[in-house]
């Protein structure tokens, strides 16, 4: 298309906005000042992005002030380019369509104005109000529409081809101008800094001159006052005083004459400095305006450079703050545990200090007590050894008595057998008795009677000698001693109780008495042991006699059996008496040993208490070593206490710092959340605009393909082939006919076949794999559990359409906040599948495109499935392609 037709189309499109009076345009030259362009940009997006766009000043209309127009046009173009790339999500403009703003500002070049206005129209038809702008284009003539559409499609196609990457060798004039501007701004900034330094030095000199001037004025006033006073005193003084006063007056006048020219010089210097400062102030004012403009440009440049870095830093800081907030509970628990440890350590230190005091009291008597303890232990060990030997002897005597009882029982059995065989046959008597009969046959009754008489005499003699009465008497004596010892034991217990409750006053005398009683009990114990030894000897003698009686019993005849039985009974009774007395003596010995142990323990305790109050002897080497070790341990404990106290103070400081950090983190987190919400809103707005732009581009590409393909045009004239167009046509047909006509009218077989194919294709495309993989009861139970646990969340199943060229998402199941919009959810999906900005994506709920501004909660209430999930499918731009019939 020709450039004239494009210029006419742009002028006609701008006039559709209703500019009247001075704002109406006839040619593109009227757009060179940027006023109409700024109004067009504010009309495109006046709510957020171009809201604060200011109008050019009156000086910018002056042809000589082309720099101001260039700055204004440059700001407009920068905002337009940022809006096109950041808000609309489009790739940057191609280098061939970038205008030369310096030529536009100087000469009002029509070609550059055409480029700038074409870019503005491209941004307008892809903004949120693109329907209005498309309608305005449709009001133009067919030639103008064609020229404008061809120009716009060429710009968008070339921009997509270059795709954000520009060859450094193809740098535009804009970059050169920007570099020149930055150099000029830096030079102006340096000049401004030099002027500011000169101004500061001059200001300082001016202040010094003012101080000198004030001092001179004060001196002049003083001299003038002195002069007046001197003139007054001249009249009253005498002639002599008058001469002196005149002399002083002359001197003061001379000084005044000298000071007056100096004062004049200082005043002239002050005037010159004031004039110089005024001129410098004017220059500083002019330079400050330029510096402010340059600073604004530099700030904008810095903002553009640091926007991405700040966003990343904010995300990282938010994550760190969340992690720190989670770790604060662990720090508090550690602090509590350290405080408990500190309390326990302080308690231990107090206990050690108390033990030090008590330890010093036990040092003097420690060695003496150990010696006494060793002596008592040695005596106890000797007594125990003697008692064990006595017990062994008694055990052996018991075993021998049991053996003798067994032998006596055997003898009784033999006697019974002999009594049963008193009238045997004379021929078979020797044969029945065996060896015993042979022995009896070799002895005579006289020999047996002699032996029996001898045994009776020995028994009678043993009885007469008092050996039998001696154990009984010993038993009585031992019983009396036992009673006496029990009384003494009770007395000692009372004394022990009195000693325990007694103060330190007369404890030494009682200790001596207790020592005497201990010695007496030890003597009684030795006497009891001697008596026990005598009884064991007598018991051994009786056992020997019993053994001899047993050996001689085999030679006793039948006539003396009764005497043997009586002797056995007497011996067993004596043995039982002796064993009973032995057991009593052993029990008494054990009781006496226990009493001795108690008395020695009581004596040791009393000696320790008495040494605590009265005895202060020299310390032994062992005690000294122990004392030094204890002192070292105390020193170590004190150092450990200091370390723990320092750690506690550090922990307190760390806790305070952590609390302050937590407060700062909460504030920063709140600000970050606000920034995140605003960034989410911007992202939502950009995603919505990008989706609308992509839909418009899809429609435009479809129209271009249909216009270029006659076969497609012929097919489209018969019936629409795309799925969306077919749905719209069916809906339009139903609204036009009504329900009754729709029932009466039957579709043709070809149309019916096409509808079935479309329905089957839709079912195959929109069928959820999640439903196929999981039964209905399981899905419903899981959805109810999720809704009960997370009331403010919505369970969503997001799946890809089978024939779509978009990448498959890594996760199907999502818990979406109820206040999230559809556009924000689409943005999340794009981030999850890492979709490039130039690719479009569409989501379907029940085979319908939901509005992007709608809330997910409203979509859930309207389109949720029977199992409680909301099923969403997404696809690319090929979803709107042709269906294969």
Is 9 within the bounds of a domain?
Answer: yes
Record the tokens describing residue 623, joined without a space: 């005690």
When pLDDT is cut at 50, 70 and 90, the band that residue 165 belongs to is very low
**CA–CA separation, 293 vs 290, rounded Å?**
5
Q: Which contacts qualify for 497-502: CB closer than 8 Å, 24 or more apart?
A: 499/602, 499/606, 500/605
More confident residue, 619 or 9: 9
Q: Does 211 share its domain with 148?
A: no
∠ Cα 207 213 216 (to 5°)? 145
Q: Does 315 share its domain with 377?
A: no
- The set of residues, in sequence order, having a beta carbon less than 8 Å from that of 159 and lying 6+ positions away, is 90, 91, 92, 93, 94, 97
**CA–CA separation, 203 vs 533, rounded Å?**
128
Q: Does 250 share its domain with 293?
A: yes
- Residue 90's φ and ψ, nearest 5 degrees, are -95, 160
> Does the pLDDT of residue 142 top 80, yes or no?
yes
**CA–CA separation, 544 vs 549, rounded Å?**
9
> Does the pLDDT of residue 626 top 50, yes or no?
yes
- Residue 88's φ and ψ, nearest 5 degrees, are -80, -15
Q: Does 373 share its domain with 460?
A: yes
> Does the pLDDT of residue 617 top 60, yes or no?
no
Going by their DSSP bridges, the two strands 793-800 and 813-817 should be labelled as: antiparallel
Q: Are 214 and 267 in contact (CB under 8 A)?
A: no
Task: Of 878, 872, 876, give the one whose Cα is nearest residue 768.
Answer: 872
Q: Does 16 share its domain with 140?
A: yes
**CA–CA separation, 501 vs 602, rounded Å?**
12
**Distance between start and end Cα atoms, the chain:** 39
Which one of 112, 136, 171 terminates a domain?
A: 171
Specify the DSSP class assigned to residue 86: I
pLDDT computed for residue 313 by the predictor? 80
Going by their DSSP bridges, the two strands 813-817 and 842-844 should be labelled as: unpaired
Instruction: Compute the average pLDDT of residues 270-296.
Output: 81
How does pLDDT run across 521-577, given as a tens digit for each residue? 767 777 777 777 776 776 666 666 666 655 554 444 444 555 555 655 665 666 666
3-class SS letters over 781-831:
HHHHHHHHHCCCEEEEEEEECCCCCCCCCCCCEEEEECCCEHHHHHHHHHH
When pLDDT is cut at 50, 70 and 90, the band that residue 871 belongs to is very high
Is 11 within the bounds of a domain?
Answer: yes
Helix (H, G, I), strand (E, B) or coil at 350: helix
pLDDT computed for residue 507 by the predictor? 46
If you count them, how many residues does the chain have? 885
Q: Does 152 share its domain with 201?
A: no
- Residue 376's φ and ψ, nearest 5 degrees, are -65, -40
> Which of 213-227, 272-286, 360-374, 802-816 shows the lowest per-residue confidence on average (mean pLDDT)?
360-374
In Å, what is the CA distance from 329 to each residue of 163, 210, 335, 631?
50, 65, 10, 40
> Which of 177-191, 313-327, 488-502, 783-797 shows the lowest per-residue confidence on average (mean pLDDT)?
488-502
> Does the pLDDT of residue 516 top 60, yes or no?
yes
Tell me which range, 136-150, 204-218, 304-318, 857-871, is most confidently predicted by mean pLDDT.
Answer: 857-871
When pLDDT is cut at 50, 70 and 90, the band that residue 312 belongs to is confident
**CA–CA separation, 869 vs 863, rounded Å?**
9
> Does the pLDDT of residue 747 top 60, yes or no?
no
More confident residue, 364 or 649: 649
Range of the domain at 754: 689-880
Tell me which range, 178-182, 385-389, 428-432, 566-570, is most confidently predicted by mean pLDDT.
Answer: 385-389
Q: What is the dihedral of CA 290, 295, 296, 302, to 10 degrees?
A: 150
Q: Does 272 share its domain with 384?
A: no
Task: Of 770, 765, 727, give the one whose Cα is nearest residue 870.
Answer: 770
Task: Of 125, 144, 149, 93, give the one whose Cα is nearest residue 696.
Answer: 125
Record the tokens describing residue 36, joined without a space: 């109409």
Q: How many CB atoms lie within 10 A of CB 317?
A: 14
Specify the DSSP class assigned to residue 506: S
- The set of residues, in sequence order, having a beta carbon less than 8 Å from that of 459 and lying 6+ positions away, is 567
> Does the pLDDT of residue 118 top 70, yes or no?
yes
Q: Are 220 and 264 in contact (CB under 8 A)?
A: no
Task: Of 586, 235, 562, give the one whose Cα is nearest residue 391.
Answer: 586
Q: Which contacts qualify for 289-294: CB closer than 8 Å, 24 or more apart?
A: 290/185, 290/188, 290/192, 291/188, 291/189, 291/192, 293/71, 294/185, 294/188, 294/189
CATH number, domain of 271, equals 1.10.287.1490
The residues with which 616 forms a beta bridge, in sequence order, are none
Q: Are 475 and 531 in contact (CB under 8 A)?
A: no
When pLDDT is cut at 50, 70 and 90, the band that residue 487 belongs to is confident
Identify the residue whose tokens are 């609204």.
735
**CA–CA separation, 93 vs 89, rounded Å?**
12
Greatest distance between any 2 Cα atoms in the chain: 204
Q: Which contacts qualify for 516-520: CB closer than 8 Å, 24 or more apart?
A: 517/488, 517/492, 517/599, 518/596, 518/599, 518/600, 518/603
Q: What is the mean pLDDT of the chain?
A: 70
Q: Does 459 share its domain with 573?
A: yes
More confident residue, 881 or 328: 328
Q: Helix 621-708 and helix 130-138: axis angle, to 10°?
A: 20
**CA–CA separation, 718 vs 712, rounded Å?**
10
Query: Which run of H or of E encompasses 72?
Result: helix 66-82
**CA–CA separation, 871 vs 844, rounded Å?**
9
CATH number, domain of 159, equals 1.10.418.10
Is 644 within the bounds of a domain?
Answer: no
**CA–CA separation, 862 vs 855, rounded Å?**
11
Q: Does 36 share its domain with 97?
A: yes
What DSSP string runs through 222-236? HHHHHHHHHHHHHHH
- Residue 27's φ and ψ, nearest 5 degrees, are -135, 175
Q: pTM above the 0.75 mark?
A: no
Record the tokens describing residue 323, joined without a space: 């992690």
Is 629 within the bounds of a domain?
Answer: no
- The set of residues, in sequence order, having a beta carbon less than 8 Å from that of 471 and lying 6+ positions away, is 535, 538, 574, 577, 578, 581
> Does the pLDDT of residue 184 top 60, yes or no?
yes
Record the tokens describing residue 471, joined without a space: 């154990």
pLDDT computed for residue 578 by the predictor? 59
How does pLDDT run across 699-720, given as a tens digit for each residue? 566 666 655 554 444 444 445 5
Q: Are 806 and 839 in contact (CB under 8 A)?
A: yes
Is 848 within the bounds of a domain?
Answer: yes
Which one of 171, 206, 230 terminates a domain?
A: 171
Is 431 within the bounds of a domain?
Answer: no
Q: Does 39 share its domain with 76?
A: yes
Is 567 within the bounds of a domain?
Answer: yes
Number of domains in the chain: 4
> Does the pLDDT of residue 128 top 60, yes or no?
yes
> Does the pLDDT of residue 667 top 60, yes or no?
yes
Q: Are 27 and 7 in contact (CB under 8 A)?
A: yes
Record the tokens describing residue 720, joined without a space: 């629409």
Instruction: Compute the average pLDDT of residues 647-663.
Output: 70
> Does the pLDDT of residue 750 top 60, yes or no?
no
pLDDT computed for residue 870 by the predictor? 92
Instruction: Compute the average pLDDT of residues 245-264.
Output: 80
Specify the DSSP class assigned to residue 87: I
Q: Does 146 share its domain with 216?
A: no
User: What is the percent of the chain with per-residue pLDDT over 70, rounded to a whole number?
Assistant: 55
What DSSP string runs through 691-735? HHHHHHHHHHHHHHHHHH-HHHHHHHHHS--BHHHHHHHHHHHHH
> Does the pLDDT of residue 727 top 60, yes or no?
yes
CATH number, domain of 712, equals 3.10.20.90
Q: Are 586 and 580 in contact (CB under 8 A)?
A: no
Cross-sheet strand order for the sheet of 842-844: 813-817, 793-800, 870-875, 842-844
pLDDT computed for residue 796 by the predictor? 92
More confident residue, 150 or 330: 150
In Å, what is the CA distance from 408 to each residue of 284, 557, 569, 571?
145, 16, 10, 11
Query: Which run of H or of E encompasses 530?
Result: helix 507-553
> Does the pLDDT of residue 879 top 80, yes or no?
no
pLDDT computed for residue 795 by the predictor? 92
**CA–CA separation, 36 vs 45, rounded Å?**
15
How does pLDDT run across 48-95, given as a tens digit for each residue? 566 555 555 544 555 556 778 888 888 888 888 888 787 777 777 777
> Which of 54-58, 113-117, 301-305, 350-354 shows the lowest per-residue confidence on average (mean pLDDT)?
54-58
Q: Does 159 share its domain with 201?
A: no
Is 722 within the bounds of a domain?
Answer: yes
User: What is the percent of the chain with per-residue pLDDT over 90, rounded to a whole number?
Assistant: 1
When pLDDT is cut at 50, 70 and 90, the band that residue 763 belongs to is very low
**CA–CA separation, 285 vs 275, rounded Å?**
15
Estimate to the nearest angstrom the gap between the alpha carbon of 413 and the chain centroid. 94
Which one of 558, 589, 618 terminates a domain?
A: 618
Q: Which contacts qualify for 716-722: CB closer than 8 Å, 24 or more apart?
A: 719/751, 719/754, 721/882, 721/883, 721/885, 722/880, 722/881, 722/882, 722/883
């Amino acid at each position: 298309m020709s450039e004239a037709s494009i210029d006419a189309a742009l002028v006609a499109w701008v006039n559709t906005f209703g500019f009247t009076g001075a704002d109406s345009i006839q040619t593109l030259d009227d757009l060179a000042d940027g006023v109409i362009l700024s109004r067009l940009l504010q009309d495109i997006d006046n709510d957020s992005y171009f809201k604060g766009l200011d109008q050019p000043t009156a000086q910018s209309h002056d042809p000589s002030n082309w720099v101001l127009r260039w700055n204004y046009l440059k700001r407009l173009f920068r905002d337009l380019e940022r809006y096109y790339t950041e808000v609309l999500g489009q790739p940057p403009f191609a280098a061939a369509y970038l205008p030369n703003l310096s030529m536009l500002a100087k000469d009002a070049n029509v070609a550059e104005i055409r480029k700038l206005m074409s870019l503005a129209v491209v941004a307008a038809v892809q903004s949120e109000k693109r329907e209005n702008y498309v309608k305005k284009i449709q009001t133009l003539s067919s030639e103008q529409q064609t020229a404008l559409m061809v120009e716009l499609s060429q710009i968008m196609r070339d921009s997509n081809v270059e795709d954000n990457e520009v060859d450094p060798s193809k740098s535009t004039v804009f970059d050169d101008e920007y570099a020149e501007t930055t150099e000029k701004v830096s030079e102006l900034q340096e000049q401004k800094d030099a002027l500011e330094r000169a101004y500061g030095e001059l200001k300082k000199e001016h202040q010094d001159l003012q101080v000198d001037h004030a001092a001179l004025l004060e001196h002049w006033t003083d001299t003038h006052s002195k002069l007046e006073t001197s003139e007054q005193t001249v009249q009253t003084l005498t002639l002599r005083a008058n001469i002196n006063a005149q002399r002083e007056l002359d001197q003061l006048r001379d000084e005044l004459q000298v000071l007056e020219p100096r004062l004049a010089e200082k005043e002239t210097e002050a005037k010159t400095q004031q004039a110089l400062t005024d001129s410098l102030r004017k220059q500083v004012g002019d330079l400050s305006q330029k510096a402010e403009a340059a600073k604004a440009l530099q700030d904008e440049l810095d903002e553009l450079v640091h926007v991405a870095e700040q966003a990343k830093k904010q995300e990282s800081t938010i994550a760190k703050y969340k992690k720190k907030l989670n770790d604060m509970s662990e720090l508090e628990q550690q602090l509590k545990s350290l405080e408990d440890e500190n309390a326990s350590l302080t308690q231990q230190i107090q206990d050690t200090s108390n033990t030090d005091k008590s330890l010093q009291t036990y040092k003097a008597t420690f060695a003496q007590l150990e010696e006494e303890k060793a002596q008592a232990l040695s005596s106890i060990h000797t007594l125990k050894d003697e008692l064990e030997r006595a017990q062994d002897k008694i055990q052996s005597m018991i075993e021998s008595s049991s053996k003798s009882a067994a032998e006596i029982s055997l003898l009784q059995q033999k006697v019974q057998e002999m009594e049963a065989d008193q009238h045997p046959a004379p021929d078979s008597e020797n044969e029945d008795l065996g060896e015993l009969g042979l022995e009896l046959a070799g002895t005579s009754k006289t020999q047996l009677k002699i032996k029996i008489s001898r045994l009776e005499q020995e028994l009678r003699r043993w009885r007469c000698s008092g050996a039998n009465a001696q154990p009984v008497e010993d038993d009585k004596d031992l019983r009396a001693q036992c009673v006496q010892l029990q009384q003494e034991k009770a007395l000692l217990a009372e004394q022990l109780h009195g000693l325990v409750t007694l103060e330190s006053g007369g404890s030494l005398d009682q200790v001596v008495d207790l020592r005497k009683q201990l010695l007496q009990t030890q003597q009684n114990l030795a006497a009891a042991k001697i008596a026990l030894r005598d009884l064991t000897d007598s018991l051994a003698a009786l056992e020997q006699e019993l053994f001899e009686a047993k050996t001689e019993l085999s030679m006793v005849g039948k006539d003396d059996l009764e005497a043997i039985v009586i002797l056995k009974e007497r011996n067993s009774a004596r043995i039982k008496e002796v064993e009973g007395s032995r057991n009593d003596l052993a029990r008494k010995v054990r009781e006496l040993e226990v009493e001795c142990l108690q008395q020695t323990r009581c004596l040791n305790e009393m000696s320790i208490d008495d040494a605590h109050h009265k005895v202060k002897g020299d310390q032994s080497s062992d005690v000294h070593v122990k004392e030094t070790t204890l002192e070292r341990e105390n020193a170590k404990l004190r150092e450990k206490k200091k370390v723990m106290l320092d750690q506690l103070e550090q922990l307190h400081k760390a806790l305070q710092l952590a609390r302050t950090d937590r407060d700062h983190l909460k504030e920063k987190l709140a600000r970050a959340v606000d920034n995140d919400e605003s960034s989410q809103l911007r992202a939502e707005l950009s995603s919505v605009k990008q989706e609308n732009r992509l839909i418009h581009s899809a429609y435009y590409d479809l129209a271009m393909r249909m216009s270029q393909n006659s076969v497609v045009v012929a097919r489209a004239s018969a019936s629409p082939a795309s799925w969306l167009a077919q749905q719209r046509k069916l809906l339009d047909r139903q609204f036009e006919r009504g329900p009754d006509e729709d029932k009466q009218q039957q579709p043709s077989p070809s149309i019916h076949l096409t509808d079935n194919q479309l329905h089957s294709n839709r079912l195959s495309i929109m069928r959820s794999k999640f439903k196929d993989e999981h039964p209905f009861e399981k899905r419903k139970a899981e959805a109810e559990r999720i809704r009960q646990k997370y009331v403010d969340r919505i369970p969503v199943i997001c799946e890809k359409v089978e024939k779509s060229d978009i990448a498959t998402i890594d996760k199907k199941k999502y818990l979406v906040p109820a206040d999230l919009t559809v556009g924000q959810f689409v943005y999340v999906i794009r981030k999850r599948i890492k979709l490039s900005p130039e690719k479009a994506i569409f989501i379907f709920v029940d085979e319908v495109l939901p509005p992007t501004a709608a809330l997910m909660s409203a979509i859930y209430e309207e389109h949720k499935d029977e199992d409680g999930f909301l099923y969403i499918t997404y696809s690319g731009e090929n979803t709107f392609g042709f269906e294969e019939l």
